[in-house]
Structure 1
Amino acid sequence: MQRIVVLLVFLSLGSCNLFQSKEKRTQELINAELREMDWNSVDSYPLFLECDETASKEAQRKCFEHQLTTHFENTLREFEFTVDSDRGALVDVIFVIDAKGKISVEKIIKDAAILRQMPEFDGIITQSLKNIPPIAPALKRGIPVKTKFKIPIQLNTK
């Protein structure tokens, strides 16, 4: 009887270590996979309804960029932006598409002359992005992820 009790105690202690080591190995594999993953790229770009989700990554990128620039052109065509400057005025709009497909402006980079001559510019850009058609978020290993983009906008000069 004493042998059975000692054997049961030994097996129960050994089995806890067995589970713990499996859990530890699993965590080590996950950590290794996370370290090797390229976090600066996505498996598929954010997509508008007009874009083909089965297309190649490059085709998805082109479709996304085309739809986005078309939306910007159509929206900004309603306004006449001109800047008194010797050089072309370039504005960089940095925006984020979250894991739910919601788009938001993170930053608008422009020089002081643009701010002085067109104080309403930021509001127009922000409103333009709020009125954008629905976007499916980018995917990384089948999971929706947040992505950041930058669009340069060239303004006319007088």
Structure 2
Amino acid sequence: MQRVFVLLLIICASSCEYFNAKKIASEDIFKEEISAINWNDVDNYPTFSSCDSLQVKTDRKSCFENTLSQHITNSLQNETIIVSQDIEDTILLEFQVSKTGKISIKHINLSETIEVEIPEIKNMISNSLNSLPQIYPALKRDQPVKAEFKLPIIIKVD
């Protein structure tokens, strides 16, 4: 009986360690949470007020890109462009929407033909972006964040 009692006492004494709550440092929780976040994607893309009614993330992105593309296209169509040869090419516009909803051009990739035939194309695109309606910034965890995009613009001049 004494052996059973001693055995139970040893088991009870050593099992107390399993009942202790392990403390997790707040830094460890923070690091784990940060590593779980996908920093290459946003929860909500930038948007115009005309796209607010859309609920699906991909639809809002498409609406933003289409609205922006349509605005640039309309602006360029209002310009008088004279060329010596027909042009049908694509410009790649790289831009950033800031945390405050301000759009800025990072780079405009265009062919040498467009650069020679329409030397003012960069200024035309820049001016068209200055007249955009208000842009609401992208959101990540309900906080405004900057977002970068690449938008192809098809140029066709006859």
User: Does the TM-score normalized on the shorter chain lie above 0.5?
Assistant: yes
Shorter chain as normaliser: what TM range?
0.7 to 0.9
Alpha-carbon distance in 2 for matches of 1:143, 1:81: 42
Q: Deviations over 1:21-73 (max 9, x none)?
A: 76xx1112111221221111110111111122661212211221222122112
Q: Which runs of 5+ in 2 are unaligned?
A: 1-22
In the TM superposition, 1:1-158 aligns within 5 A as 25-52=25-52, 55-81=55-81, 88-156=88-156, 158=158
Q: Which runs of 5+ in 1 are unaligned?
A: 1-20
Residue 129 of structure 1 and its aligned partner are, at CA, apart by: 0.8
- Counterpart AA for 2:62: K
Residue 79 of structure 1 and its aligned partner are, at CA, apart by: 2.2
Equivalent in the alignment of 2:10 = none
- Counterpart AA for 2:112: A
Indicate the RMSD between aligned Cα atoms, in angstroms.
2.2
Residue 95 of structure 1 and its aligned partner are, at CA, apart by: 0.7
Residue 86 of structure 1 and its aligned partner are, at CA, apart by: 8.1
TM-score after normalising by structure 1: 0.76
Contact 2:96–2:149 at 8 Å: present in 1 too? yes
Alpha-carbon distance in 1 for matches of 2:59, 2:111: 34
Residue 83 of structure 1 and its aligned partner are, at CA, apart by: 5.8
Three-state SS of the structure 2 residue aligned to 1:107 is strand
Identity of aligned residues (%): 34
Alpha-carbon distance in 2 for matches of 1:93, 1:139: 22
Residue 147 of structure 1 and its aligned partner are, at CA, apart by: 0.4
User: Greater Rg, structure 1 or structure 2?
Assistant: 2
Alpha-carbon distance in 2 for matches of 1:140, 1:157: 40
Alpha-carbon distance in 1 for matches of 2:119, 2:38: 39
Contact 1:97–1:104 at 8 Å: present in 2 too? yes
Three-state SS of the structure 2 residue aligned to 1:151 is strand
Contact 1:82–1:156 at 8 Å: present in 2 too? no
Q: Deviations over 1:111-150 (max 9, x none)?
A: 2221111111101111111111000000001010000111
Contact 2:98–2:146 at 8 Å: present in 1 too? yes
* Distance verdict in 2 for CA 1:37–1:77, change over 3 Å: same
Alpha-carbon distance in 2 for matches of 1:76, 1:86: 16
* Distance verdict in 2 for CA 1:83–1:91, change over 3 Å: farther
Contact 1:81–1:156 at 8 Å: present in 2 too? no
Alpha-carbon distance in 1 for matches of 2:86, 2:78: 24
